[in-house]
Amino acid sequence: MNICLIQPKTVGYDNFPPLGLGYIGTVAKVAGHSVKIIDLEIEQKKYADLIVEIKQHNPKLVGITSTIRSKKEALKIAELLKDYNVVFGGPQSTSEPEEYLKRKTVEQIKTFVLKGESEKTFLKLLDYLDEKISLEQVTNLVYKKGEEVITSEAEPIIKDLDTIPIVDRSIFNLPRYNSKFFLKKATNIITSRGCPFRCSFCFHDFHGKIYRRRSAKNVIAEIEYLYNTFNYRAFIIYDDNFTVDKQRLIDICNLILEKKLKILWRCLSRVNVLDEYLMRLMKKAGCQEIAFGIESSSPETLLRINKMIKPEESAKAMSLCRKVGIVSKAYMMIGFPWETKKMIEDTIDFACQILPYDAQFSVLTPLPNTEIYDQTINMGYEIDRDFDFTRFDPCFETENFTKEEIVTLQRKAVKKFNKAKLIYTIKHPYSHFAFYVAREYAQETFYKLKKLFSSLKNQLFARA
């Protein structure tokens, strides 16, 4: 069977393959189906060209992945494909499947939603379309029967992630992905699913609430495949909690060293799981950057969002990164419904004091079907119904701050943090921190000059 899988375009994308579609496409290819992935994040096709390309592949099923930021685009694409069976997947269609079943199609054409991870259920849907099983046998499926919305039996989560095939990167248009990490050719990998924590701003129902991880040997097998087959030398690990299983982390690092893999990598971690020994081992195995979800300096806020960390643990983690020579990034969040301006100012000051290498100050966006969404509503605050989730603007205000004031505080945070970063660099010119800052500025200058010379070159040729 011919299948098309589509990644809709969004705002602020990163230049990496959509691995969710990669896993689905790989299991379908292994099962003997012909798979075509169209990544509109990098290909930027017009709708007319997209339809032509889909027609050329003549698929019996088109799969479209959807996050909250790509929802409108995903639904728009589906509306243009009235002659094709469409199945939606991804976190947003899992969160609100009924919203994705409204498209109008020609007779005999169906719309489906597959909830959660779909390596097994997608193959069942293909078997249904091949008339091998009944529709009722397809698990995790949401569809319409007349005007009634039907949700099929739930599929158990995949406990052993090693049983899932490693993503076949040949199904992507790899030359179009040109990401670099510390000047090395880079790609992305996922080594775990689920989350053992319950942060109130996260949607937990896509990969389930049970933390599962691939074995160290399985992870290294994928790295070696990408290293030897495609010449990747840097890896962005997409896991929400790469470092939670300390023994697996140690095993992965030791295998990288044992196999003499000269790679660089980046991961996400909690601030309260790493010590100096682990950080030094990670650094030795090629870890260049760790991102941490710090969110706030307020113990009250950390408690109310179920973060289960303390401000002093965040300060210690940033200090250890500077000591070991690993770039640290802190994800900070402002604009919680109970926050005062003083609490926000304290969080900004805290980020400047603990001084990660980089900090991102996000304005809280309460996503539907999350605890923080319910908390905000229950406190009596109205969330904009037509909020554009492709933007990072505030979507509610309280008696303590207006939307405009939150935006002003966000800008102030960035300006104040950059000033603190510059002061530290001047005071510690021979530190790892200063080295990374200098290299960052050098790279930015290089790319600006390169762009300028390219523009001048094009103008000269145009005149000639």
d(Cα 25, Cα 85) in Å, to the nearest integer?
17
Among 396, 368, 365, smallest CA distance to 93 is for: 368
- Residue listed under structure tokens 């269609």: 93
Region 148-159 average pLDDT: 94
Residue 464 has pLDDT above 60, yes or no: no
3-state SS record for 48-105: HHHHHHHHHHCCCEEEEECCCCCHHHHHHHHHHCCCCCEEEECHHHHHCHHHHCCCCC
pLDDT of residue 433: 78
The predicted-structure confidence for 10-21, as pLDDT tens digits, reads as follows 876 678 999 999
The phi, psi pair for 164, rounded to 5°, reads: -85, 130
Residue 458 has pLDDT above 90, yes or no: no
Region 390-412 average pLDDT: 90
256 pLDDT tier (thresholds 50, 70, 90): very high
State the chain's maximal CA–CA distance in angstroms: 71
Residue 308 has pLDDT above 70, yes or no: yes
What are 315's two structure tokens?
């300060």
The predicted-structure confidence for 194-206, as pLDDT tens digits, reads as follows 888 889 988 776 6
Residue 236 contacts residue 186 (beta carbons within 8 Å): yes
Count Cβ atoms within 10 A of the Cβ of residue 368 and give its class: 0-12 exposed, 13-18 middle, 19 or more buried.
middle
Residue 35 contacts residue 171 (beta carbons within 8 Å): yes
Calculate the average pLDDT of the chain: 92
The model's pTM is 0.91
Q: What 8-state DSSP symbol labels residue 265?
A: E
The domain defined by 179-427 folds into TIM Barrel (3.20.20)
The predicted-structure confidence for 198-237, as pLDDT tens digits, reads as follows 899 887 766 667 899 999 999 999 999 999 999 999 999 9
391 pLDDT tier (thresholds 50, 70, 90): low
What are 375's two structure tokens?
């908390």
Residue 3 contacts residue 27 (beta carbons within 8 Å): no
Q: What is the DSSP string of 154-218?
A: PPPP-S-GGGSPPP-GGGS-GGG---EETTEEEEEE--EE--S---TTS--SSS-SS-EE--HHH
Specify the CATH number for 2-151; select among 1.10.300.10, 3.40.50.2300, 3.30.1370.160, 3.10.180.10. Answer: 3.40.50.2300
The predicted-structure confidence for 23-45, as pLDDT tens digits, reads as follows 999 999 999 999 999 999 998 88
d(Cα 224, Cα 219) in Å, to the nearest integer?
9
